Amino acid sequence: MSFIFSLMVIHLVALMTPGPDFFFVTQTAVSRSRAEALYGVTGITLGVVFWAALSLIGLQWIFEQFAWLHRGLLVAGGLYLMWMGYNLLKSALRKPEASEGGAKPAELPVSKVRAFTMGLFTNLANAKAVVYFSSIFSMMLTPDMSSSMRWGIFGIVVAETFLWFALVALVFHLPVMRRGYLRLSRWIDGLAGALFGVFGLALLWEARRYSLAYQR
């Protein structure tokens, strides 16, 4: 029981640490519809399902045997995050300055499939998820652990991920949060775009460093 509790705490701390997933959910929640935000959360959760399932079959071993796969994921993830950052920065530059009266926002068209796929790819491109599931999470799965325990851990991690990000989405979709976004939308989108760009560059740098280390 203490092991399960420790796992839940460790995973919750990992989820609460700001990263691409968190910024994607918050930005979607304040700027889009609640449905889109929750579809984005579902996409992120599916990404966690993918990483957790790979951890069950030996993600760390896979990366050790196929180093090119690890590098390829880092490069692809870095390019995707930079693309998202570019789009957010472009959106921020195109937006007019907020009026003093705080005009009511135009309702944006709902694109649930797009929100879902962006959430999924944001998680798959997340270096924090790769590091966490290939190291910390994999070390928790000891060889003598029963199959039922492994799948129980899998279910806890997936459920905790969805519940945390759903809570974040619902909180940031509150009217007070959306009104704040309206007043500062250019700055918020610009900051989010810059952060995604930094995350993308960090992944590309990590891929380069990993490649150089592998060649030695």
The model's pTM is 0.70
Summarize pLDDT for 15-65 with one digit per residue, the tens: 887 788 888 999 889 888 889 999 999 999 999 999 888 877 776 666 667
Summarize pLDDT for 96-134 with one digit per residue, the tens: 555 444 444 434 444 789 999 999 998 888 767 776 776
- CA 116 vs CA 6, 80, 123: distances in Å: 30, 15, 11
Distance between CA 51 and CA 39 in Å, rounded? 19
Closest CA to 124 of 207, 50, 70: 50
